[in-house]
Chain A
Amino acid sequence: MNQVEDEVLVRRIASGDEGALAGLYDRYAGMIYGTGMRYLRDRGAAEELVQDVFTSVWRNASGFDPARASFATWVYRITRNRATDLIRRRKARVRTVDNEPPFESGEMDPSGEISRNFDVAAALSRLSSVHREVLVLAYFHGLSQREISDRTATPLGTVKSRTTAALHALRETMSFDENRWSADE
């Protein structure tokens, strides 16, 4: 069974549905938090980034136009802008103490890696639950194929073929998403 699409959840958020925001949190918070940890190098600041991003999604959901960009692209831009703000604020604060920046400055995400990650997360959320499950257990929980077989009570051969099918589905969904919005990017 497919999950509700990101863009549908944003429409519900615009109508005041906090549950829809919680749904998007489940899909994207780990990546936003990971981005914060990477660039801000501080747990509290990374949490502040997550809160800022979802507050911004909540406030601006009614202005989101799914015809122009995917939710993943939109939330990536919000994350990048908020993280840049937080980096600047933190640098200014620390400089007043010892005149040294806390870390190297530089453009955020120059290789586009974080942007790609948001797109992959969006594609992952569009997969069927059985395909998503097998990939999440392998990549995010670090389980081997045999461990997934035990955990899901599924024959090992089925887990292997399902993993292959899930990667195929992810690849196709990523291609579909790229074509869907590329004309507007």
Chain B
Amino acid sequence: MSEHPDTRDLLGPFVMGALEGHEEREITDHLEECASCREEAQELKLAHERLADLAYSTETPAEDLKERVVDGLPRREARRRVPAWVAAAAATLCVLAVLAAVLTPDLFGGRALASANLSPTDRVPGAGGEVSIQGTGENMEMRLEAWGLPPCKNEQYYELWLVEGDDRVSAGSFTVGQSGRVDVRMNAPNFAGSYPKVGITAEHDKDPRPSDEKMLSGELHEL
């Protein structure tokens, strides 16, 4: 396959009909002589034809359709009116559950499922931290301990992100005082453990996307 690297590099544009005249003639002449390049061109041609079919069948919907689709999703939680005494009992149970979870964490899935040591970026060389994910089912939470972060000023806050490739999901936001330390628990989606990395950015506005001000990051490891 690597006998004719210069020719091979052009086989893709060749099967697409995207080469200029002289290049196309050179490849055509070469393929008449070279069985291995001819076979390779056949393979690429199949991929080209499938992709061309896909492009032909694809149309761009109205720009706002995505928003309409997401806005129109049925809510997962049923919003039903419940009697006051039921609500009060449920609230009491929640308080008891939280207390029990704090006092006897292992009984309530308090054992950490995954954790990450956070390393600083050049912005905060003395900072560090740890993140752990614990809980079960819908009761997952992330515990963050961090130190050495600059105290928040004005509207500034920090945001913890679950990271995979280009994908970022916010796990929650927090502020830091003069101590530069934070120890906070946040509710976590039950897919939190499926992300390979976490990161912390400094944020200044309501833009839901992460800012470029990266402060800490680390890789999540299952325990």
Q: Which residues of A contact B (CB under 8 A)?
A: 1-4, 8, 11-12, 15-19, 21-23, 25-26, 29-31, 33-35, 37-38, 46-47, 50-51, 54-55, 58-59, 113-114, 116-117, 120-121, 124, 129, 135, 138-140, 144-145, 157, 160-161, 163-168, 170-171, 174
Contact = CB atoms under 8 A, between A and B. Distances in A.
Interface in B151-201: 164-167, 169, 189-191, 194
Interface in B30-63: 43-44, 46-48, 50-55, 57-62
Nearest to A119: B50
Contact of B62 (A12, A47, A171): A47
A163 B165 CA distance: 22
A164 B58 contact: no
The main secondary structure of chain A at its interface with chain B is helix
B122 interface: no
25 contacts: A1-B165, A1-B166, A3-B165, A17-B191, A26-B66, A35-B57, A37-B59, A46-B59, A51-B72, A54-B69, A55-B74, A59-B74, A116-B53, A117-B53, A117-B54, A117-B58, A120-B54, A135-B51, A138-B16, A140-B58, A145-B19, A166-B12, A168-B44, A171-B46, A171-B47
Interface residues of B, number: 45
B12 A163 contact: yes
Given A25-B66, A117-B53, 5 more contacts: A11-B194, A15-B191, A54-B73, A161-B10, A170-B51
Contacts of B18: 138, 144-145, 163
